[in-house]
């Protein structure tokens, strides 16, 4: 391995011994994981395992977090959510986080551009034709699927290179889920670094390079894709218990 | 009852309504975005009137130049007040914000009373707006027409800024979900400071408009701020459009009450407020949830 390829596989997002608290109660215990540049890593685990808490901790949204979160070699543990966002980490939050009092267009234009190389509106509209069709609608007038498209579209505009996708398929019809899978696949081709939280293991298995299994706020297993059928069975059994 | 009386009271009501709307608008912005019930609003309105008076008295700066200067001066006062006091209230019980802003009111009134007394300072209508139009049935003072027109324009511009511009979208996002807005890279603390400064600027501007019609004195804001709060409640807490429409219509209602039911005219707005609290809590005048 040459020096160049080595630097390429250095993780874009690097969590070391990350702990976090909700008030007095500890929610994460020494979570360590890497996402390589252009890689897709899925966090798997049952409801309440701590997957969303990991996403929130990366964004600095917990009132107390300790350990290390490095993004492109920069320590972010002491930074505010705003500074973290401006470094180029885009959030597609759980329940989509569309602002209901803003129009679709206002939602789309809301996050400031953090870096050159974000997608043009034309490209975004090519990817998500329904977003273009509903630009003047209020955010809370959209269907769940449309909101999810908008939540992703809004981050693609900013030039963020790493994207945290929290349960993008939750509560959506299969046809929409398929559309979101295609979107994630094309984002992967474009070289985005993605950390995906997903309850739907079959969905996660199809788009991810690696899997981190979370239980009670801890990492209990790590798997590299593609998974063999025995591994798939064991993960599925673990998630369904 | 004569038509003159009715029209006269309606115009008087609308001019009062212009001040209610301007003040309620600022209160609604501050309440909506900072979640602070800004009881200093009346004192900030008084500050605007005193500043307009002081500019003329000490610097010879007349009405037309005073208007933008007062807006900026009151906005600056708002920025300082936010940075020194209000900012500390964001993470504590809203009751502390009420007490703090009430205390700021007492401090400001005390300072101005110490230097200027309470008897009222004269500020005359600018020459370009003096006189009145003879409409046949009544004389319409030009300055009052100007105040109503200016208030409508300012209310519209403020509404437009908040509802239709990029900065307005940022403000609304920060209102709806400040945590998420911050996670998208918005500078929420700066937006809050700007909203407070803007609201105080509007209060100051209302004070400058009031200087030629009401008596300029340190206590002039203490009563109107209560009416303005009632108007904000009627319009739907934090609703911009609601505050504007409720402001003008409550002024008109008060004017009509003076004709038809004079004994109750001083309390008619409060009667409406109580009715709104009892029967339509939590919705604005358009029936939308706030």
Q: Specify the CATH number for the domain of residue A171.
A: 3.40.50.300
pTM, two decimals, is 0.90
Minimum CA–CA partner of A79 in chain B:
B183
CA distance B190 to B139: 47
Q: At what angle do helices B3-34 and B166-176 cross, to 10 degrees?
A: 70
CB-based burial label for B28 (10 Å; 0-12, 13-18, 19+):
buried
- Which structural domain, as residue segments, surrounds residue A12? 3-239
pLDDT surpasses 60 at A6 = no
Chain A residues near residue B181 by CB distance under 8 angstroms = 110
pLDDT surpasses 80 at A8 = no
Cβ atoms of B235 and B154 closer than 8 Å: no
CA distance A150 to A147: 5
Distances (CA, A) of B222 to A28, A36, B43, B202, B273: 52, 62, 7, 17, 18
Q: How many domains does chain B have?
A: 1
What average pLDDT does the segment A1-16 reach? 67
- A218 token code pair: 């801890």
**What ipTM does this complex have?**
0.89
Q: Do A82 and B188 touch (CB under 8 A)?
A: yes
CA distance A56 to A21: 11
- Which structural domain, as residue segments, surrounds residue B28? 18-104+123-279
Residues whose CB is less than 8 angstroms from the CB of residue A148 and which lie 6 or more positions away in sequence, other chains included: A92, A96, A168, A169, A172, A176, A180
Residue B113 distance to chain A (closest CA, Å):
43
Residue-level pLDDT at A240: 80
pLDDT tens-place string over residues A25-67: 999 999 999 999 999 999 999 989 999 999 999 999 998 999 9
- B183 token code pair: 């996670």
CA distance A182 to A184: 5
| Neighbouring C-alpha atoms within 13 Å toward the C-beta of A192 | 30
Residue with tokens 């209060």: B203
Distances (CA, A) of B60 to A95, B52, B63: 59, 10, 10
What average pLDDT does the segment A202-223 reach? 93
Nearest to B197 by CA among B77, B86, B40: B77
Cβ atoms of B15 and B142 closer than 8 Å: no
Q: How many domains does chain A have?
A: 1
pLDDT band at A233 (very low <50, low <70, confident <90, very high): confident
Residues whose CB is less than 8 angstroms from the CB of residue B199 and which lie 6 or more positions away in sequence, other chains included: B25, B26, B27, B29, B30, B38, B41, B78
Interface of B with A in 156-175 (CB under 8 A): 166, 169-170, 172-173, 175
Q: Taking phi first (over 0 means left), then psi (-120 to 50 degrees means alpha), and beta for anything else, what does residue A117 get? A: left
- Given B177, B180, B185, which is nearest A112 (Cβ)? B185
Q: Do B184 and A110 touch (CB under 8 A)?
A: yes
Length of chain A equals: 241
pLDDT surpasses 60 at A2 = no
Cβ atoms of B131 and B146 closer than 8 Å: no
pLDDT surpasses 70 at A140 = yes
Round to the nearest angstrom and report the end-to-end CA distance of chain A.
42
CA distance B223 to B211: 15
Cβ atoms of B290 and B236 closer than 8 Å: yes
Residue-level pLDDT at A7: 46
State the maximum Cα–Cα separation within chain A, in Å, rounded to a whole number: 52
Residue B105 distance to chain A (closest CA, Å):
33
Residue B45 distance to chain A (closest CA, Å):
30
Nearest to A216 by CA among A17, A13, A26: A26
In a 3-state reduction of DSSP, which class is residue A13? strand
Cβ atoms of A235 and A44 closer than 8 Å: yes
Q: Do B185 and A85 touch (CB under 8 A)?
A: yes
Q: What is the pLDDT along chain B (290 residues), one digit of tens a residue?
A: 678 888 889 989 999 999 999 999 999 999 999 999 999 999 999 999 999 999 999 999 999 999 999 999 999 999 999 999 999 999 899 999 999 999 999 999 999 999 999 889 999 999 999 999 988 778 889 999 999 999 999 999 999 999 999 999 999 999 999 999 999 999 999 999 999 999 999 999 999 999 999 989 999 999 999 999 999 999 988 789 999 999 999 999 999 999 999 888 889 999 999 999 998 877 766 666 66
Q: Is B288 a member of any domain?
A: no
Give the best residue of B162, B181, B183, B190 to mutate against chain A (max A CB count within 10 A): B183
Residue-level pLDDT at B215: 87
The alpha carbons of chain B give a radius of gyration, in whole angstroms, of: 19
pLDDT tens-place string over residues B147-172: 999 999 999 999 999 999 999 999 99
In a 3-state reduction of DSSP, which class is residue A36? coil
pLDDT surpasses 60 at A1 = no
CA distance B147 to A162: 53
Q: Is B166 a member of any domain?
A: yes
Centroid of chain to Cα B124: 21
Distances (CA, A) of B135 to B7, B130, B140: 11, 16, 7
Residue-level pLDDT at B170: 97
Q: Is B285 a member of any domain?
A: no
Residue with tokens 């080595």: A6
pLDDT tens-place string over residues A114-125: 999 899 999 999
Written in H, E and C, the secondary structure of B99-111 is HHHHHHHHHHHHH
Residue-level pLDDT at B137: 76
Distances (CA, A) of A28 to A18, A31, A42, A45: 7, 7, 17, 13
Give alpha helix (H) positions in B120-214. Answer: 142-164, 166-176, 178-183, 188-210
Residue B285 distance to chain A (closest CA, Å):
17
- A36 token code pair: 């390589």
């Amino acid at each position: 391995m040459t020096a160049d390829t080595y630097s390429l596989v250095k993780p874009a997002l690097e969590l070391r011994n990350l702990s976090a608290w909700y008030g007095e109660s500890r929610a994460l215990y020494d979570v360590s994981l890497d996402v390589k540049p252009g890689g897709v890593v899925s966090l798997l685990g049952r409801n309440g395992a701590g997957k969303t808490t990991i996403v929130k901790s990366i964004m600095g949204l917990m009132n107390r977090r300790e350990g290390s979160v490095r993004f492109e070699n920069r320590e972010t543990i002491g930074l505010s959510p705003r500074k973290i966002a401006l470094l180029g980490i885009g959030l597609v939050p759980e329940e989509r986080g569309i602002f209901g009092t803003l129009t679709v267009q206002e939602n789309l234009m809301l996050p400031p551009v953090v870096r050159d190389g974000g997608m043009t509106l034309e490209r975004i509209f090519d990817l998500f034709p329904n977003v273009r069709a509903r630009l003047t609608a209020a955010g809370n007038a959209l269907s769940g699927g449309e909101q999810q498209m908008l939540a992703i579209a809004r981050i693609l505009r900013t030039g963020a290179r790493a994207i945290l996708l929290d349960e993008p398929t939750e509560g959506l019809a299969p046809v929409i889920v398929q559309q979101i899978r295609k979107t994630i696949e094309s984002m992967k081709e474009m070289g985005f670094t993605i950390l995906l939280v997903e309850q739907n293991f079959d969905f996660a298995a199809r788009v991810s390079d690696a899997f981190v299994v979370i239980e009670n706020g801890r990492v209990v297993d790590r798997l590299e894709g593609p998974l063999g059928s025995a591994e798939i069975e064991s993960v599925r059994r673990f998630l369904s218990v | 009852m004569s038509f003159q009386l009715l029209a006269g009271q309606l115009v008087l009501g609308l001019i009062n309504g212009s001040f209610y709307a301007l003040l309620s608008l600022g209160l609604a912005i501050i309440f909506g975005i900072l979640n602070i019930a800004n009881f200093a609003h009346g004192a900030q309105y008084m500050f605007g009137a005193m500043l307009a008076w002081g500019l003329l008295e000490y610097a010879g700066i007349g009405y037309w130049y005073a208007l933008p200067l007062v807006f900026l001066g009151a906005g600056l006062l708002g920025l300082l007040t936010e940075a020194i006091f209000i900012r500390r209230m964001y993470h504590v019980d809203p009751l502390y914000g009420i007490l703090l802003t009430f205390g700021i009111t007492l401090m400001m009134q005390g300072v101005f009373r110490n230097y200027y007394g309470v008897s009222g300072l004269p500020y005359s209508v600018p020459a370009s707006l003096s006189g009145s139009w003879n409409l046949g049935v009544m004389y319409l003072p030009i300055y009052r027409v100007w105040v109503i027109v200016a208030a409508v324009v300012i209310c519209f511009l403020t509404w437009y800024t908040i509802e239709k511009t990029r900065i307005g979208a940022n403000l609304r996002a920060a209102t709806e979900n400040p945590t998420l807005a911050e996670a998208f890279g918005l500078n929420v603390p700066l937006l809050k400071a700007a909203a407070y400064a803007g609201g105080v600027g509007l209060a100051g501007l209302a004070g400058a408009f009031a200087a030629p019609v009401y008596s300029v004195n340190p206590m002039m804001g203490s009563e109107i701020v209560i009416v303005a709060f009632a108007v904000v409640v009627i319009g739907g807490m934090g609703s911009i459009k609601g505050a504007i429409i409720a402001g003008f219509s409550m002024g008109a209602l008060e004017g009509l009450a003076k004709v038809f039911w004079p004994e109750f005219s001083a309390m008619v707005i409060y009667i409406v407020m109580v009715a709104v609290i009892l029967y339509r809590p939590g919705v604005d005048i358009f029936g939308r949830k706030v």
